[in-house]
Amino acid sequence: FCAKNYRFFFIYICFFSVIISITTNFFEYDGVLLTFVRAFGFIISFGYAIKFLDKELTFQYYKKIVFFSITFFFLQHLVYFSTKIVLSGLIPFLPNYYDSTDALHLLSDTDKSIRFASFFIEPSYFAQYIIPYLVIILWEKNTNYRYYQVGILIVTLFLSQSGTGIFLLISVVFMSVVLLLKRLSAIKKLLLASALLIIVPLFAVLVLMTSAGRQLYERNIEINPDKENVTSGFIRIYRGYYLFNELSPFNKLVGVGQGNLRNLIENKSSEEVKFMFYDEIYVNMFQQILITSGLIGVILFLIAHFKFYLLCNNLGKVLLFTLFILMFLDAIYYTPIMLLYLVFAILNLKSNFKKI
């Protein structure tokens, strides 16, 4: 019931990964069990989406959630700037991503920042959730108030001050332009390219002149590759590659097995690499596939992803390209965010899903 292209990847990580885990010294029982439970739930959800979801109905429900979240996001800003009262969207009794406790401790820290995130834990997650809606209204035919909605979404992304959100916005625009150029004549391509060369730098300058733009810029220059002045942003983005570099040639090829990342970091890595994970243990999705499934797993995943891309219409292509970029920015492996992008891509295949 899952797409044939991804089936080879899932078979590899579910069976060969177990063998690798058992026959090497990376095996961690709890981590492996939890990872496979998450993977199984993800595959079930993926299969259900392929077989039962209705495109229009799914989009309508998603649209309502997006606009409800955006409305509350602007309400947070309005209340704060008019009364200096922080209106948190976190629900106290629900568990959160960071630990198994409730969200009360996060509520107490909210007033330290005005980077609101609607009902999400942080702006990055909020931005990742609304980006697919931007793609849909850009490419879906007969969308009412298309340009007003695009404007609202872009303003929302900049107000969130999420670096991830801006990277994804740039990815959406880039891929949309590339696909659009294929439809145009040579003269129109030249005119569009010339217009973009003027509009994009001008827009960037205007954004950086605003307080939100300056704050966003200051957050993103944290990703500094200078080893003599390593920042937290650099560590979060690149530390997985340092971890991969310490693996043996065999494990670089086949990985250390699903669910063994924590054991690898805490017990098998050098002190220098271990220090990079002093406050949290996670790597982005690409690094997680690379470390746990090796170069073989990465190749299988990218082949499946590319074949999936070729079968989608332009809307689906932009979504899958954006997901590809997001792989290098955040830890979304087997998460609802990853599923969200894949589901809407599935709903925008050129032909019947059975041909995947």
Q: What's the chain's average pLDDT?
A: 78
127-166 pLDDT tens trace: 999 999 999 998 887 777 888 899 999 999 988 888 888 8
CA distance 25 to 250: 13
> What's the mean pLDDT in 83-96?
71
- Look at 208 and 130; give whichever has higher pLDDT: 130
CA distance 243 to 246: 6
Q: Is the pLDDT of residue 70 over 90?
A: yes
Q: Is the pLDDT of residue 354 over 60?
A: no
Look at residue 102 in the predicted model and tell me its pLDDT.
Answer: 43
Q: Calculate ∠ Cα 159-99-21, nearest 5°.
A: 115
Tokens standing for 348?
Answer: 């925008």
Tokens standing for 168?
Answer: 């994804």
Exposed, middle or buried by CB within 10 Å (0-12, 13-18, 19+), for 319? Answer: buried
Q: Is the pLDDT of residue 2 over 50?
A: no
DSSP string, 99-148: SSSBTHHHHHHGGG-----TTSSSHHHHHHHHHHHHHHHHHSTT-TTHHH
Look at residue 129 in the predicted model and tell me its pLDDT.
Answer: 94
Look at residue 237 in the predicted model and tell me its pLDDT.
Answer: 76
Q: Is the pLDDT of residue 112 over 60?
A: no
Look at residue 251 in the predicted model and tell me its pLDDT.
Answer: 86
Q: Is the pLDDT of residue 14 over 90?
A: no
DSSP string, 263-319: HIIIIIS-HHHHHTTSS-----HHHHHHHHHHHHHHHHHHHHHHHHHHHB-HHHHHH
